[in-house]
Structures are given as C-alpha cells and as structure tokens.
Structure 1
Amino acid sequence: MINIPNERNRNKTAIFVFEGDSYKMIDQATIDRIMNAAQIVDVVSEFVTLRKRGVNYIGLCPFHDEKTPSFSVSPSKQICKCFSCGKGGNVVHFIMEHEQLNYYEALKFLAKKYNIEIQEKELTAEQIQARSTRESMFVVNNFARDYFADILKNHPNGKSIGLAYFRQRGFRDDTIAKFQLGYSIDARSGLANEALKKGFKKEFLVKTGLCYEADNGDIHDRFWSRVIFPVHTLSGKVVAFGGRTLNTENKRIAKYVNSPESEIYTKSNELYGIFFAKQAIVKADNCFLVEGYTDVISMHQAGVENVVSSSGTALTTGQIRLIHRFTDNITVLYDGDMAGIRASLRGIDMLLEEGMNVKVVLLPDGEDPDSFARKQNATSFQEYIQQNEKDFIRFKTSLLIDEAGEDPIKKAELIADIVKSISVIPEAIIRSVYIKETSQLLHISENILVAEVTKLKREELSKNRRILKREEAKEKEQQEEKSSSPRTSYIPTEGQEGQEFYKFERLIIQTIVRYGNHAICNIVNSEGEEESISVIEYIINDLRQDELEFYNPLHRTLLEESKRFIIEGHQGEISRFFLTHPNPEISRLAADLVSDKYQLSKYHTKSQTITTDEERLDELVPTLLINFKNALVLTEIKHSLQALQKPEIIRDPEKCNSLMEHYLELKQIQSVMAKKLGDRVIIPPSI
C-alpha cells in the first residue's frame, strides 16, 4: 500500500493498493465518510465484550492474554487503547490489528459494514506490485471454499455422495450454505489442477496446506474424496479446512484430515463456529462447548447458535481466551463416553484457571450433541440443559467418587484431584464457595481443604517467582552486554526512547496532537494589530530559533503535518485531523497520544476546581520546550565527559582542548536553562 497525492488536489491524500492486476484508489473524501460512520464502540463490541465504566468502555484485550480488563474504548475520542500491552488506535487500526489487514483492506471492511460505496480508480500497469503472502493465502483459501461448494452442488459425485451425506445427517440446504460446506472429488489432484489452470501459484497451494508436494515435484490435494468443513476466523475469513472421509471400510484412511498450521492458521487459537456464534454468545451470556463440526452445525439448525467446537482436539488456553472475550460462562456438553470425559477433565481445569464459570451437561445414553440436537428444538434443548447442568466441581466429584468407593487411598487421590481444580480458580470468593461445597460432598473438614488449597497456591507462587527471577537475571545480563558495547553518538536511534530528551520530545508532540491549533498567546504584528499565536506556531518558531529538530522521524513528520493543518486552514479539532490521517503510522501515534489511562472522578471535580492542561498552555508549552532543551544539553554534557576520558582524546591536545571548550560552553547553557526552569518540574507520564 502507498500514499500518493491526488493529481486534482495536491492537498488531499488518496490510498492506493494492488488489486488483481492493477492499483486501486480510495480518495480522502471516501475515507472521511468511512471514518465518520464507523463508531468505535459498535465495531469493537463485535469482537470484545465491553462494559461501561464512566464515559468509556472496558473489556478484555483481544491482542494479549489477560484476566483483568485493561482494554479501554473511548466513544468521545473514537479510539481504543490497551494500557497493558499498549496496542490500540482508531477504528481502522483496531480492524488492521485484529484481522491482520492492511490499511486499504481495513477501510473496505468498514465500508462494507456501513454500506458505504467505494469508487475505486485503476492506475497504470507500471505501479503494479505483488500481493503479500498472507493476502495470497487467504485468496487461495477463498477459491478452494468456492470450488468445494460448487462441486457439492453441481458435480454428479458431489451431489450423489457429498450432498447425500449431509442430507442424511439432517442438514437443510440453508444450513449447508451458511457453513459453506463442500465436497472434494475422488481425484488426487482435482483442486490442484483447477487452481493452477486459474493462475494460482503452486507456492500458495502448498503454504495453505490445501496441497502437498510429492518427491517428483507434483502437487496433490490433501482433502481429496472427502466432505469439506471450512474453518472461519472471528471475522469470517476462511483460515483452514477440515475434511471427513466417507470411506469407513478402509481403516488405514484417517477419518478426519485438517489443514496444517501455516502463516495464517494457528490451530490452538481457532474455534470452529466462532464466527457464527459470537453474537449469540454475547446475547445469551453463555457458550456451549462441543467436540466436532457436526455437533456445532446440528445445534445451529436446532436454533441453539451460541456453540463452538474445539474440533476434536484438546482445549487450549488460546481457545478459552477467545471465548472469554464474549462471556464468562461456559457449558460443556458430554456424551456418555466416560473415557472421553476423563480425558477432557484437564481442559476443564484450564477453563477454571482462566476465570470461567463452568457448567457440565451429560447427554442421555447413546446421544452426542449432533444426534441429540437433531431430535430437539431450541426450547426443548434449553429445557434439558437447565434441568441437567451441574457445576464442574460437583460433576467431577460425583464422577470420581464412584471409582474411589471405600478405598481410602483412592478417596485421598480423589480429594487431591478436586483440591487441585479448586486451587487454580483465580477468584478467592469462588474458591471459598467450592471448598465449602466439596467439604459437604466428601464429608471432610473444611479447614483441611483450605490448608491444601493454600499449600498448592504457595507452591504455584514459588514456582512463578523462580521463573520471574530467571527471566530478570537473563534480562539484566542482556542489559549489561548492551551497556558494555561502545557508543559513538548521543543522538537516539529507534528504540532509545529511554533518553530524557526523548520523553520531552514525545510530550511536546502529544501537546501538538491535543491542542496544536489552540491559542497560546497574543502578539502585536507589524501593522499594530493584535493576533493570536497557536501552539504549533509557537513550537515551530521556538525550535527554529535554536536550530533544533526532533530526532524521531515520525515526530518530525507529524510536526510537518501540523504545519499543513495551519497553512490549509483546516477547521475543527486538530486531534481529529491526526486520528483520521491517511498515513497509518501518524494516526496510530495520534491515537496513542490522546489516550488517557485514568479519568478524574466526579468526586474531585465537585469538591474543587481542576485546572486542565488546556487552560495552562501558556505555562505548559514553554516549560516542556525548556525541559526538552535542558535534557538535550545534559545528554551532550554526559557524552562529552565520556569522550574526554578516551585515551585517543587525551593523547591529542588539540582535540582535548576543543572538547573542553565545548564542555564548558554546554555547562554555561545548562546553567541558563536551570535558572529558567527554577523550581518548576514536569514529570513525564508513562507514554
């Protein structure tokens, strides 16, 4: 993706991207319409369960693992921000990060959501560039999905074998279409040959796992002669496939074959059916967890849509956290297979550890979620759940107590197993409730259970401390190695934000983004008229007088763009100008700079008058600039002293004298700065 000035209006910016065999363009006017229509709370809430807190909303961050919400969404500023991992931005940045899209694709995603028509203009052939690997893999997967679906509906074998199988399972045509089910013919290279004929590259057919390469260089289909289940991401993109064989006689053929992991597919982070279930999960504030593809589909068809599947694999932490974005409550559905239930108990402990409220339902003998759902409607299914669900601890106790019988050793093992499950629960109150219930069920002293849980918690804490100490020791060693390496210049490179002047540079940029077009003072011009000076003009003139510039390239770009804002006479808040800027780096930085981790409570605003930064710009901006310059001087003094201690400088009187003169000059400047600063101290926030 590139930004190119629009020929008709140099002051406007357009977004250009490679599409098919040419470049496509979205002009700034369309971008503005998309940004105005896209409400960030509306968009984010499709992927994260948000709760109102003050004027903002909070939820669990979708970009890293957490149990306590730190992801904040501001409807007034139209930005989001995680104050733990730091990710966030405006609505386009959120979609870019969450869906792994580029800027252009994220705009199209939002335009489609809000029914905004995008008029795209093709550019010349000279500007064509290759698609990225990830984009190409998704395109190949889309082709395969359509190919398999077409075979199912129109190919003689697809209709007589694949479609017949799905109808035998009781799936209606609308359900088959909804889940985009398909069929792959009994030909080793049917998909491969069709894809190559359509111009798709062999490289991406192999990378997606749709095909594999033989020793002789030929490629063959992975899913041939199977019914196909596409696996969708949270946003509905096809990320992988599952294929089921209908040949039950040949025991050497695997019943299910799944896409291997790739650059776009990590099995442990995906759940089958999550795209179709997410809204129903939020509405019901509960998620049903089942094992297979057909379990999910049959329950949807029965009217129970808040259901996902781990696709026959052991439940992972990534999958649990995906569910946790939408609800705290999960109900696990089991058939009567006791061996399978015992094997999955560890997964239930993981659910408890992640703070989920877990219920368990045992289906009637001989039934699995697929077969049971086909005999029910949504009402009767929910009635059965309500009558038969148990909390996990009670279920696990009743399951294992029969095995233990009167054997004291086995009973002790059972108690230890239950205690281990309780100990992983993060909430102390919930742990206490479960301890009390377990004490009554197993007829054992509550104090003994408390002591055992406490012992396990201490062991876990001790283990975590040992891991933390090892990590800290490793980090300290790396820092020592870094600090021992020679330095040639005090000018910061990317990643040297720890420099004091770098902090003040960022604070100055933050002030520009928030208040850049606000007046800071008035002056009398050459014609004797009084005119106001904006924050931007004040900062630019002040830096120019001392021949200084910002060291961070992005900060320099943002300062130049702020000049353009003033020169072109843009109206409205400058923060909006930067938040909707077509350069994603600038708009992302702006979103970060306008984010506030804390809000002042109503109690404080009622009891006293609070002076805001906006009201004291005449004091704040000059002080920030002096702090910036002072930090620069102090840094230069430090490096001058280091240079004076080098043997090669000491042996060269001319260089030594020159450096000494420079050092003394800097000390004089620093003395002047100190007088200007006086007792005023501005401590940079965590930015």
Structure 2
Amino acid sequence: MIPKETVELITETARIDEVVGDYVSLKKRGANLMGLCPFHNEKTPSFTVSPAKGIYKCFGCGKAGNSVNFIMEQEHVSYPDALRHLARKYNITIEEEQRSVEEIQQESEKEALYVVSQYAQKHFTHNLMETEEGRSIGLSYFKERGFSLPTIEKFQLGFAIDSYEDLLVHAKENGYSIDLLEKCGLIKTRDDGKQFDFFRGRVIFPIHNVTGKVIAFGARTLKSDKKEPKYLNSPETEIYVKSNILYGISFAKRAIISNDNCFLVEGYTDVISLSQTGIENVVASSGTSLTTGQIRLIKRYTQNITILYDGDSAGIKASFRGIDMILEEGMNVRVLLFPDGEDPDSYARNHSTEEVHQFIREHSEDFILFKTKILQQEADQDPVKKAALIRDLIASIALVPDAITRSVYIKECSKLFEIAEQTLINELNKFRRTKSAKESGADLPYTEIPEKKQEVTREEESVNELLPQEKDLVRILLNYGERDLEYEITVTEEEIGPDGKQKIHKEILQTTVAEFIVHQLLSDGLEFEQSEFAAILGDYALALEGGLILKQNHFLQQAEEIGKTAVDLVVTPYSLSAKWRDKHMIFTKLEEEKLSYMVKNAVYSYKLKKVMQFIQNIQKKLKNDITEEEVNQLLEDQMALFEVKKKLSEELGRVIIR
C-alpha cells in the first residue's frame, strides 16, 4: 500500500504538462496546451492539456483525466503502478513494505516482464564493465566504435558471456523466474528439456520503450563465422511489439520536440554515434520495414521526418513504400544520402558535430524531389518508363492529405517533366478517387442489418431525463462552488397587516454557490440518480458539515470514474477570445457575469423535473388495483405536487438571485 500522504505528494508534484510532454509534442494555445492525441489517430490536434487545472481532455475520443489517469491509460498499468511511475519521475520516495521477488512475480505478467528485463540489462552491463571477458571483448569493441563511457552508460550497453548458462545460473541464484526469462527470449529450452542462454558471446543493445523501461534486446556477434547470424533479437512479448517501437525514442523525444524534426536511421550504432556527436533527435527502425505504428509514434512529437540513408544503400527504392506511409499520415519527409561508403555511424565518427550538422542542412532534400531524381535515372530516355515514373510519383503525391501541399508538388513535377499541370491533376484525382472508394468500402456490396431496438422502460426514461440537469448542477459546483452568492428570500412576520394577513418582507442572504445548491437539494430530500454525480454531491455535503468548501482539485485528482467525470465537466473546447470582444465590440455575457441567474435556473429546473417525475409515478400508481384510501392519499400528494410545480414555474419566470 502507498500511504495517503505520499499519494497526495505525488499528485500535487506531478505537472500534467511535463507528464504528457514525455509522450506528446504540445503547443501553447491560450492558457492551455494542444497536441495530437496519443490515444487515437488524428491529423488535427484535439488533445488539450490544462496546466492550471492539472488535467487533460481529448475532444476527439473523449479520453480525460489527471496525471495518474494519463499514465494508467498510456502505459496500461494499474493505479498504484501509475503512482510509482510518477514517483520515479519526480524522485519521490515511496515508503511501502519491501516487496519480495515472489510478490513481484505474483503481480501482472506485464509488470513481471519489465522486472526480469531490467534485471537482464543490469546483468549484461555488469558483464561488460566488471568481467575480464566483457572488458577485453565487449568493451574493446565499443571503444573501437568510438563510444565513450558516458555514452555506453547512457544507452546501458552490455555483453553476454560466451556461456550456455551464465544468465541462467545468476537469475536462479537471485530468485528470478526462468519461465519469465524464457518468455522474454533470454532463455531457450531444447527438445530434451535442457535450458540455455539465448545470447552468448555478443554485445548487447537494450531496447527501451517511450518512458525508458527496458523491454527487449538486440545482440550483435563479434565472431567472423558467417554461419552465425550477425544480429539476434528478442521475440515479441506483451511489453515488446516491434512494430510500435523505435530504438532510441526514450532518449530522443525531448530533442525531437525542441528541434521539431526526427532523424530516422537504420541501426543501433547509427543512433548511438549521432547522439554522441550531439545530434540527439534520432531514432532507428532497427532493420525492420517502417510501420504505421512507428510513424505515429514519431508524429506525437513532430510533423517532420528526415530519413538518413547509407551512401551505398541498395534499399532506397525498397523503402519508398514506407515513405508513402509517412506522407499518408500528413507528415513532411526529407531525405539525406551520405557519401559513397559512408553511413550515419561512420560519418558521425569521422566528422565534428558542426560538420555533421552542416552536411545534413546542406544535403537533405524534399522526398518527392528526391524520388523524382532516383526514378529519372532508371527511366533515362525511355518514354514508357518515364510515364510509369510519373504515375508512381503522382501516386505518392495523392497520399498527401493537405490540398495546398499537393498543389505545390504538382507544380514542381509539372516543371520537372514539362507536362501540363492539369494533366497531372487529372491523374492525381484518379488515384484519390480510387483511394477514397477503397476506404469507404464503395467497391464492396454491403447490406446493413438494423439492430433490434432495446426497449427502454418508463423508469429508465425518467432517470435519463434527469441526467442533463444533474450534470449541469455538478458542473456548476465544480467550476463555481467557492464563489460568493447573494439570494433573496421572503420572510413571514408575526405582525398582521392592514389586509388582515401576516406581513412579509424580503431579505438578502450571503452564501456560496456550493452551500446554496447543497442546501436547496438536501433540504428537500433530493438525491442524484447518476452514481458519480451523487458521490460528488455527497462529498460537498460532508465537507460543508465540517465548515469546509471543497476545491475543484479535490475531484480532479481522484482516481477512476469520479476524476474522469470531474475533468469532463471542467474542460470546455471553446472560449470567447478577449481580443474578439474588443475588436468586434461583441459583449456576450460570460457565465461568471450571469452566475446568480444560472445557479437559480439550474436548481429550480432540476427541482421542477424531479416534481414532474414524482407526479408521473403517482399517475402510474393510480392505474394499479389499489384501495380507495390509497387513491385518496395519492390524489392528495398529487395536488400538493401540482402546487409545488406551480411555485417552481413562477420562480423560473423571475430572476430573484443577484
């Protein structure tokens, strides 16, 4: 268990902009920050972060919450594990009972896989730095590659001893589950049941997820035996899905955001060498074909990708499909070809940081123009090949979502190939129509089978009718509960007036919005139907009994549904700009300016709806087979409710709260 005081310290310390900023590139938008939602694919940012309120909200998919909710959703972890994640980020010590290895292994398998992966990484790093074999073979290799000790430590590089049971024996001695190590691909089992280390006599490159947790390994052989595969890699697991991971992303994400560009390379050493040179906004696809998941991971941090190719790369043309996928995501792609015989790793080792930066600045070019040059070399003077080249190029341009960008590319191609723009536009439109038809399923016959409508009972309808009123009252409580409020009451005096009736006079009472709403509802015995709304109202009532008024943050920082409900009710996608009001002399009343009227209207509208619900229930009971006495009582209750309904309707027709 994490102590309550520590939970409060974590939630108070964690800054939502910093927490979300580890995963999403955020841009200032008024008092808030905006970015592309990490929970669903979108091209226009609808994900809002409010540093002042400590919350996030996506107006596209509806996901919302605080820092803890964000980590739970993003990392797919439990509430306690999300707190531990934030505690590590902010160097907060959690004083909880020490968990044994057995207790750790009893947790979810996913968390256990993280634990054994971290253990293996530390074991490989120990081998590299502390064993004779590791220093003489592994460390020597890394130093020959030009990697400094700080760089080796940063990327947590390691070495696997050339033994069939080095990791196996040490893991057993330290109480780690061999089954879990096998699931991570670190241990293998032969047909005869004998277990052995999978990585042997190899330098180790740990692979980290976005938050920096070790999730897999790449291992390079140092032997000259050509029968031996150069690289071995971890299999996919619950924590490692290769198509969604980029090597180096945890080290590069902040630099990608600050540079608004991501350099994409092929291998581990390319990333490490460039990073050591000072170019930190670099990641690798680790030898795999680029995937949509990897592209969208980069897109969280920038709209710009520069692909760095080896000088003698034979796979440039083969990579065009992956680049088309980048264009389809609406991103900007540039390409850089290193000199013959050079790759990013060797170029970074043989040149200064400034020389590398200068080379990239001067030689990177737009992908469409780069592709044109590559394909033109193949077409030469052959008209048929040239026509095929142009269609290939137009097919790539057709994938670009932005119409203006497409238009610019069409103009460039028109100049390069001396072909009329309209001809190219016609061809482009053919591709886009075909693409649109495929996406909409227009080429597939489809008959929709209507769902059978689920019957809704009268009671459910009645409850559903109340939800908008309940929601509005809770929204007002959360946003304005602490605000002062004056309201007018009618006081009946003991003294009899000239008309023979008791005198009455008006009084103005001072209170707060929270006190007014809670008193108005609870004094009439009214409770909310929706569970989260009822819980929030109950918390306000309990606090008021102790002379306190709860602050908005009390609810925003709660876990699970109450916290999410609170976030939904305090965040709005729209606000009237002060510049708009000044410029156009449009003075629409803001909620704060009509708060008194709004509070009264919300309370009495809810009461009126509730009274009408009571009347409906009575009318339903009158249709039942009941006694005359019961009928009379129900009719009496109904008359009383009609009187209350009349008074509430009158109240709603007058503005009496100021």
Aligned-pair CA distance for 1:291: 0.6
Q: Decide whether aligned partners of structure 1 residues 632 and 221 sit closer, same or farther in structure 2, where only a CA change above 3 A counts.
A: farther
- Identity over aligned pairs, percent: 44
In 2: Cα distance, 1:103 partner to 1:201 partner: 25
Q: Deviations over 1:150-207 (max 9, x none)?
A: 1112223322332232223222222111100112223334323322332223443244
Residue of structure 1 in register with 2:107 after alignment: 131
Aligned-pair CA distance for 1:66: 1.3
- Residue 116 (structure 2) aligned to one of 121, 133, 140: 140
Amino acid at match of 1:432: S
User: TM-score w.r.t. structure 2 length?
Assistant: 0.84
In 1: Cα distance, 2:179 partner to 2:404 partner: 54
Q: Deviations over 1:275-297 (max 9, x none)?
A: 11122222322211101111111
SS of residue in 1 equivalent to 2:330: coil
Q: Decide whether aligned partners of structure 1 residues 124 and 232 sit closer, same or farther in structure 2, where only a CA change above 3 A counts.
A: closer
- The runs of 5 or more residues in structure 1 that have no matched partner are 1-15, 18-24, 645-649, 682-687
Aligned-pair CA distance for 1:438: 0.9
Residue 620 of structure 2 is aligned to residue 620 of structure 1 = no
Residue 5 of structure 2 is aligned to residue 40 of structure 1 = no
SS of residue in 1 equivalent to 2:308: strand
CA contact (8 A) 1:623 1:677 kept: no
Aligned-pair CA distance for 1:383: 1.7
Q: Decide whether aligned partners of structure 1 residues 541 and 418 sit closer, same or farther in structure 2, where only a CA change above 3 A counts.
A: same
Residue of structure 1 in register with 2:544 after alignment: 566
Amino acid at match of 2:574: Y
In 1: Cα distance, 2:414 partner to 2:616 partner: 66
Residue of structure 1 in register with 2:530 after alignment: 552
Residue 414 of structure 2 is aligned to residue 421 of structure 1 = no
Aligned-pair CA distance for 1:621: 3.5
- Residue 574 (structure 2) aligned to one of 593, 598, 614: 598
Residue of structure 1 in register with 2:514 after alignment: 536
| Structure 2 counterparts to residues 88-107 of structure 1, below 5 A | 88-107=64-83
RMSD: 4.0
Residue of structure 1 in register with 2:556 after alignment: 579
Residue of structure 2 in register with 1:458 after alignment: 433
Residue 377 of structure 2 is aligned to residue 402 of structure 1 = yes
Range that drifts further, 48-57 or 203-212:
203-212
CA contact (8 A) 2:309 2:337 kept: yes
Q: Decide whether aligned partners of structure 1 residues 249 and 502 sit closer, same or farther in structure 2, where only a CA change above 3 A counts.
A: same
Residue of structure 2 in register with 1:506 after alignment: 471
Residue of structure 2 in register with 1:274 after alignment: 249
CA contact (8 A) 2:256 2:281 kept: yes
In 1: Cα distance, 2:390 partner to 2:191 partner: 55
Range that drifts further, 235-244 or 89-98:
89-98
Q: Decide whether aligned partners of structure 1 residues 100 and 663 sit closer, same or farther in structure 2, where only a CA change above 3 A counts.
A: farther
Aligned-pair CA distance for 1:448: 0.6
In 2: Cα distance, 1:633 partner to 1:270 partner: 57
In 1: Cα distance, 2:490 partner to 2:618 partner: 42
CA contact (8 A) 2:604 2:651 kept: no
CA contact (8 A) 1:630 1:670 kept: no
| Structure 2 counterparts to residues 474-513 of structure 1, below 5 A | 477=450, 480-481=451-452, 483-484=453-454, 490-491=459-460, 499-513=464-478
Residue 273 of structure 2 is aligned to residue 298 of structure 1 = yes
Residue of structure 2 in register with 1:328 after alignment: 303
In 2: Cα distance, 1:348 partner to 1:313 partner: 13
Q: Decide whether aligned partners of structure 1 residues 503 and 185 sit closer, same or farther in structure 2, where only a CA change above 3 A counts.
A: farther
In 1: Cα distance, 2:618 partner to 2:207 partner: 61
CA contact (8 A) 2:128 2:134 kept: yes
Residue of structure 2 in register with 1:51 after alignment: 27
Range that drifts further, 374-383 or 209-218:
209-218
Range that drifts further, 358-367 or 48-57:
48-57
Amino acid at match of 1:65: N
In 2: Cα distance, 1:156 partner to 1:65 partner: 49
Amino acid at match of 1:278: K
Residue 424 of structure 2 is aligned to residue 449 of structure 1 = yes
- Residue 517 (structure 1) aligned to one of 476, 482, 491: 482
In 2: Cα distance, 1:570 partner to 1:212 partner: 62
- Between the two proteins, the alignment pairs up a number of residues equal to 633
Q: Decide whether aligned partners of structure 1 residues 418 and 216 sit closer, same or farther in structure 2, where only a CA change above 3 A counts.
A: same
Residue of structure 1 in register with 2:656 after alignment: none
- Residue 391 (structure 1) aligned to one of 355, 366, 376: 366
In 2: Cα distance, 1:164 partner to 1:124 partner: 38
Amino acid at match of 1:574: K
Q: Deviations over 1:551-573 (max 9, x none)?
A: 333322222222233234446x7
In 1: Cα distance, 2:329 partner to 2:242 partner: 19
CA contact (8 A) 2:159 2:203 kept: yes
Q: Decide whether aligned partners of structure 1 residues 553 and 210 sit closer, same or farther in structure 2, where only a CA change above 3 A counts.
A: farther
Q: Decide whether aligned partners of structure 1 residues 211 and 585 sit closer, same or farther in structure 2, where only a CA change above 3 A counts.
A: farther
Residue 147 of structure 2 is aligned to residue 163 of structure 1 = no
CA contact (8 A) 2:87 2:94 kept: no
In 1: Cα distance, 2:386 partner to 2:376 partner: 7
Residue of structure 2 in register with 1:9 after alignment: none
CA contact (8 A) 1:525 1:531 kept: no
CA contact (8 A) 1:145 1:180 kept: yes
SS of residue in 1 equivalent to 2:17: helix
CA contact (8 A) 1:491 1:551 kept: no
Q: Decide whether aligned partners of structure 1 residues 633 and 419 sit closer, same or farther in structure 2, where only a CA change above 3 A counts.
A: farther
Q: Deviations over 1:363-412 (max 9, x none)?
A: 11122222222111211112222232221111111101121122222111
Aligned-pair CA distance for 1:520: 4.2
Residue of structure 1 in register with 2:56 after alignment: 80
Q: Decide whether aligned partners of structure 1 residues 620 and 442 sit closer, same or farther in structure 2, where only a CA change above 3 A counts.
A: same
In 2: Cα distance, 1:680 partner to 1:440 partner: 70
Q: Decide whether aligned partners of structure 1 residues 259 and 663 sit closer, same or farther in structure 2, where only a CA change above 3 A counts.
A: farther
CA contact (8 A) 2:611 2:645 kept: no
Amino acid at match of 2:231: Y
In 1: Cα distance, 2:62 partner to 2:309 partner: 40
Aligned-pair CA distance for 1:144: 1.0
Aligned-pair CA distance for 1:84: 0.8
Residue of structure 2 in register with 1:368 after alignment: 343
Residue of structure 1 in register with 2:186 after alignment: 210
Range that drifts further, 428-437 or 559-568:
559-568
Q: Decide whether aligned partners of structure 1 residues 591 and 446 sit closer, same or farther in structure 2, where only a CA change above 3 A counts.
A: same
Range that drifts further, 665-674 or 353-362:
665-674
Aligned-pair CA distance for 1:663: 12
In 1: Cα distance, 2:216 partner to 2:548 partner: 47
Residue of structure 2 in register with 1:178 after alignment: 154
CA contact (8 A) 1:501 1:629 kept: no
Q: Decide whether aligned partners of structure 1 residues 347 and 639 sit closer, same or farther in structure 2, where only a CA change above 3 A counts.
A: farther
In 1: Cα distance, 2:84 partner to 2:564 partner: 18
Aligned-pair CA distance for 1:335: 1.5
CA contact (8 A) 1:233 1:275 kept: yes
- The runs of 5 or more residues in structure 2 that have no matched partner are 494-506, 654-658
Q: Decide whether aligned partners of structure 1 residues 123 and 470 sit closer, same or farther in structure 2, where only a CA change above 3 A counts.
A: farther
Larger Rg: 2
In 1: Cα distance, 2:352 partner to 2:43 partner: 35
Q: Decide whether aligned partners of structure 1 residues 452 and 237 sit closer, same or farther in structure 2, where only a CA change above 3 A counts.
A: same
